[in-house]
């Protein structure tokens, strides 16, 4: 697998649905059964887990954190992000 496994999603306007698992044993972005799963070690309080998800997802697609915007799911495990130009 390449260092940017989700690089094809870096196009502006792309919407990315992810399922988040907080309090995991390690930080990881993984594709399971055609679904993007993000595992973070942070606890889901005060937006800590969301910040870590943005950081990991941005790194996986090869874009800046500021290019990802959370559209839906701020308090849910299922989140939808949009890549900005």
Which CATH number covers residue 70? 3.30.1200.10
Structure-block tokens of residue 56: 């990991």
Of 46 and 4, more confident: 46
The tens digit of pLDDT for each residue in 5-54 reads 788 899 999 999 999 999 999 999 999 988 999 999 999 999 999 999 99
Count Cβ atoms within 10 A of the Cβ of residue 20 and give its class: 0-12 exposed, 13-18 middle, 19 or more buried: buried
Asked whether residue 12 is assigned to any structural domain, the reply reads yes
Asked whether residue 70 is assigned to any structural domain, the reply reads yes
Asked whether residue 1 is assigned to any structural domain, the reply reads no
Asked whether residue 48 is assigned to any structural domain, the reply reads yes
The residues, any chain, with a CB within 8 Å of residue 12's CB and separated by 6 or more, are: 83, 84, 85
**Span 47-75, mean pLDDT?**
95
Q: How many structural domains comprise the chain?
A: 1
| Model pLDDT, residue 2 | 46
Range of the domain at 34: 7-83
| Statement: residue 85 has pLDDT above 70 | yes
Asked whether residue 2 is assigned to any structural domain, the reply reads no
| Statement: residue 3 has pLDDT above 70 | no
């Amino acid at each position: 697998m390449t260092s940017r496994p989700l690089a094809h999603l870096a196009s502006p306007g792309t919407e990315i649905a992810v399922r988040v698992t907080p309090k995991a044993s390690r930080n990881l972005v993984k594709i399971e059964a055609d679904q993007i799963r993000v595992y973070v070690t942070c606890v889901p309080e005060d937006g800590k887990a969301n910040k870590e998800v943005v950081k990991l997802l941005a790194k996986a697609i090869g874009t800046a954190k500021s290019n990802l915007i959370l559209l839906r799911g701020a308090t849910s495990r299922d989140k939808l992000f949009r890549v900005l130009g």
